[in-house]
Copies of this chain bind each other. A is one copy, B any other.
């Protein structure tokens, strides 16, 4: 058998090809490319490696790998207002032609006039009335269709994108990274469970059965021989603050080993997660990037807000308990998939 002498250009090409391949392969092994190489990213990777290494004292079998994520402010923006509130206001406007009396009746008049001051003056009672009017009185199937249609057309006032395009790219990578390590990822949000479910699978890869949220009551009815679940104007469950551990226990029946939030509404979820034995990961997204997204707290002297308040007291608890605070400004290379 003869060996052919390798020509120099061919050899060089092979070396270059190898280098390109190796670089690509190396890049492919970074599951969190939109995260800067900071301690926050390291904390995530270290935690996942610890709990997935068999024989490690921190090993958690796949069945116990439960990770819970708040939605508004944690997976997508909650400013200038909660997405669901934007939906409610749009829905009131869409229903207005059928309700001429709303032209002079608060809180509806405020919505139709885009009068945010009058809307604020209507207080919580007014807000509940708007939510119930826009969210109840139809079947679950009808509501799903209404929400699905809205997500197709509604556009975020600042970013001029559909709301479903505004999922934070680093969090999408985190969700996928956890799932590739046999975690079951759940959404545990103060938002409405049936408002989120039509989009969570496509946007976050989270199926309906892994979405926990606030809910109104539904009633089983037979209409024209066909069973329907009618949505009633009555609160069933508020999945916020102390409601989050309650909802987690109700829906999952297991304590998470990792929990991600961004506001005072997530404290109890993180406390509940952290109170389990073994290795745990608790993280809070801090909105400190007014340029690329928003900046609010009031923790760390950031501006105060009504949507997604991150108080100094929550920041103090985070420090005391070793919860990681994610700085959107410092820890995230990009915020949205369309960012450079």
Within 8 Å CB of A31, what residues of B? Answer: none
A242 within 8 A of B: yes
Residue in B closest to A268 when the chains form the complex, CB atoms: B220
- Closest CB pairs A-B (n = 5): A208-B253, A220-B242, A209-B252, A197-B253, A227-B271
A10 within 8 A of B: no
- Give, as a whole number of angstroms, the nearest-CB distance from A68 to chain B: 12
- Are A272 and B227 within 8 A (Cβ)? yes
A254 within 8 A of B: yes
Most buried by B among A193, A215, A222, A229: A229
Within 8 Å CB of A242, what residues of B? Answer: 219-220
12 A-B pairs whose Cβ atoms sit less than 8 Å apart in the complex: A140-B249, A193-B250, A209-B254, A211-B253, A218-B249, A219-B246, A226-B275, A227-B245, A227-B272, A227-B275, A229-B249, A251-B251
- Are B272 and A246 within 8 A (Cβ)? no
- Give, as a whole number of angstroms, the nearest-CB distance from A237 to chain B: 8
- Are B227 and A268 within 8 A (Cβ)? yes
Within 8 Å CB of A226, what residues of B? Answer: 275
- Give, as a whole number of angstroms, the nearest-CB distance from A265 to chain B: 13
Copies in the complex: 2
A207 within 8 A of B: yes
A290 within 8 A of B: no
- Give, as a whole number of angstroms, the nearest-CB distance from A247 to chain B: 10
- Give, as a whole number of angstroms, the nearest-CB distance from A80 to chain B: 29
Within 8 A of B (CB), among A137-178: 140
Residue in B closest to A244 when the chains form the complex, CB atoms: B220
CA distance A178 to B209 in the complex (A): 18
- Are A220 and B246 within 8 A (Cβ)? yes
Within 8 A of B (CB), among A251-301: 251-254, 268, 271-272, 275
CA distance A250 to B205 in the complex (A): 19
A63 within 8 A of B: yes
CA distance A6 to B191 in the complex (A): 75
Within 8 Å CB of A245, what residues of B? Answer: 220, 227, 229
Within 8 Å CB of A184, what residues of B? Answer: 209
Q: A209-B251, A227-B245, A227-B268 are in contact. List 20 more A-B contacts (CB 8 A).
A: A63-B201, A140-B249, A184-B209, A193-B250, A194-B253, A197-B253, A208-B253, A209-B252, A211-B253, A215-B250, A218-B249, A218-B250, A219-B246, A220-B242, A222-B271, A226-B275, A227-B271, A227-B272, A229-B249, A251-B251
- Give, as a whole number of angstroms, the nearest-CB distance from A71 to chain B: 15
CA distance A339 to B154 in the complex (A): 61
Within 8 A of B (CB), among A171-217: 184, 193-194, 197, 201, 207-209, 211, 215
- Are A254 and B219 within 8 A (Cβ)? no
Within 8 Å CB of A140, what residues of B? Answer: 249
- Are B220 and A253 within 8 A (Cβ)? no
Within 8 Å CB of A250, what residues of B? Answer: 193, 215, 218
- Are B275 and A246 within 8 A (Cβ)? no
Residue in B closest to A63 when the chains form the complex, CB atoms: B207
